Amino acid sequence: MIRRKVKAKLPWKPVFPKTRRELARTALRTERPEVREATYNLDHGRCFWPTCQKPVALGAAHIHEVVWRSLGGSPVDTEITVTLCGRCHAHIHPRVGGLLKRITGTRTEGFTCEEKQPDGTWLEVC
């Protein structure tokens, strides 16, 4: 008797991340759904950066932690998280070609937003 492998026909096409980067991106977007949604609502569904203010869908929003975890930041503290669009978030992180923008402070103290000028100085924009 010969056994044959039969492919199951699914009514949908499963989508799997193709690269490690896509897998990591998916993991980051679903890591802390409560914090993500709370921060998104605090920022009214818009990019926090004052000169951008672009509406961002919850699934596409980037939640930025102003205080790094290695420096005592908490991944579940909405006091130090802001909603950013992908472009503004990339401008903040040096790893992705950023370090053109920076945010400091907390929600209660007030955030300070600064943009790097061509001469290397920082200009406060909020």
Closest CA to 58 of 34, 80, 90, 79: 34
The answer to whether 104 and 66 are in contact (CB under 8 A) is yes
What is the amino acid identity at position 72?
A: G
The answer to whether 84 and 47 are in contact (CB under 8 A) is yes
Please give the residue that has the higher pLDDT: either 48 or 6. Answer: 48
Mean pLDDT of 107-111: 93
Q: Read out DSSP for 19-62?
A: SHHHHHHHHHHTS-HHHHHHHHHHTTTB--STTT--B--TTT-E
The 3-state DSSP class for residue 72 equals coil
Report if pTM > 0.85. no
pLDDT greater than 70 at residue 6: no
CA dihedral 44, 46, 47, 51 (to 10 degrees): -100
pLDDT greater than 60 at residue 38: yes
**Max avg pLDDT among 24-28, 36-40, 64-68:** 36-40
Give, as one character, the DSSP assignment of residue 115.
E
Report how far residue 109's alpha carbon sits from residue 70's, in angstroms, rounded to the nearest whole number. 21
For 51-98, how does the pLDDT look when each residue is reduced to its tens digit (9 = 90+)?
Answer: 999 999 998 899 999 988 888 888 788 999 999 999 999 899 876 667
Please give the residue that has the higher pLDDT: either 10 or 122. Answer: 122
